[in-house]
Copies of this chain bind each other. A is one copy, B any other.
Amino acid sequence: MSKSKTIYFDSNATTSVAPEVVQAMLPYLTENWGNPSSPYRLGKKLVGPIEAARESVAALIGADSAEVIFTSCGTESINTAITSCLYSQPTKRHIVTTAVEHSATKNCCAALEERGYEVTYLPVNRDGSLDLKLFEQSLRPETAVVSMMWANNETGVLFPIREIAAICRQRGILIHTDAVQVPGKLKLDVNELGVDLLSLSAHKLHGPKGVGLLYVRKGTPFRALIVGGHQEEGHRGGTENVPYMVAFGRAAELAHAVTVQSQRKLAALRDNLESEIFAKIPHTARNGAKEPRLPNTTSIAFAGVEAEALLMMLDQLNICASSGSACTTGSVAPSHVLTAMGLSPVEARSTIRFSLDYETSEEDVAYLMSHLPRVVAELRAAASPRVAARFRNSKLVAQAV
């Protein structure tokens, strides 16, 4: 079925480290262990590989390598982007974001509110889309930054970042986008997009966990979040994590090589999974618009099912999926993304996200579908009459798919 016998439908949470990526980084954990800032060859010889990696990640997003900062993760990139816009424009203390951001943005903004900054969280429609009129109305002279995800990690729904960036540019407001879910799945060109700052994370594209990227357009005011030595041209202190930088470079090359055909094939596989679910399992609904959406993601509410119980049963079948972001797993609250879209807590708690990858095969989908209808039916049958009644009264059941 698969080498590890694990059928993985959770690529938005993380991806395996590609063997080519491990191979590329290994020498920098063994013989090439010097400090790149050192004045002798053992150190200096590492500057070339770092800059080559920087070229590769810059090429992935159509940036100049001088516009790319290596960080330790997507969360650091996002936190750096937002705080940099605030600290470099001290008279502007207002942030515009949305109600469906990843916790890296959401909780960073909440922490900044605690410190006296003001945040507007834009609502979304039932399909996860944004009201551009509302967005324009939210902008103020004191708005330091607009920070919005490009692709939602839970639903895959895309925001019109190009249009949003154009509006920001017109108003002289900095725009940052969390594009963590995008590489390899959509064409990514920072100049076409028009954003000032953009965040990525290597582990979503078969690189290791522990290295991120922050794109900062030339000329954008900047203040570092992690302040120390002269590393990353003073934009990010800390001795360089050479192995992971090299790894990210190799992973970026792999993601950059993905063709439009592959992306279409991925979307077709995902669409097929959706159709099968809707055909074979009653009382199910997609959360979020069908398009524009990432080609690999689907978020499905299974009325009458507790997602956590369903995930546990799937795990017993070696199928990995999730109820939303791994970064909020274990939280007692239902997904803030889904409730912002108007789902009730009960509906949100009945939702499973399936996120596919180029490694996902038709056989994987067939294996999932050979079990999913039965498992859902069993859980519904086992539900207490009280729970079942709650779900019967949910709007979801009445929804046409």
Contacts and interface: CB of A to CB of B under 8 A. Distances in A.
A211 B73 CA distance: 12
Contact of A102 (B40, B228, B315, B330): B228
A35 B325 CA distance: 11
B111 A227 contact: yes
Interface string A229-259: 1110000011111111000000000000000
A239 B327 contact: yes
Nearest to A111: B227
A13 B31 contact: no
Interface in A314-341: 314-315, 320-323, 325-331
Can you tell how many copies of this chain the complex includes? Answer: 2
A25 to B, nearest CB: 8
A149 to B, nearest CB: 13
B39 A209 contact: no
B203 A239 contact: yes
A238 B74 contact: yes
Interface stretch (A75-83, A265-273, A363-371): A75-83
A261 interface: no
A229 B75 contact: yes
A310 to B, nearest CB: 10
Interface string A69-107: 000111110110000000100100000000000111001
Contact of A17 (B6, B33, B323, B327): B33
Contact of A327 (B108, B203, B228, B320): B228
A208 interface: yes
B40 A239 contact: no
A142 to B, nearest CB: 17
Contacts of A210: 72, 210-211, 239, 241, 243-244
Contacts of A241: 72-73, 208-210
A201 interface: yes
A59 interface: no
Given A10-B35, A79-B227, A208-B241, 5 more contacts: A39-B322, A75-B226, A78-B228, A210-B210, A229-B326
Interface of A: 4, 6, 8, 10, 13-17, 19, 22, 25, 29-31, 33-35, 37-43, 72-76, 78-79, 87, 90, 102-104, 107-108, 110-111, 114-115, 201, 203, 208-211, 223-231, 237-244, 308, 311-312, 314-315, 320-323, 325-331
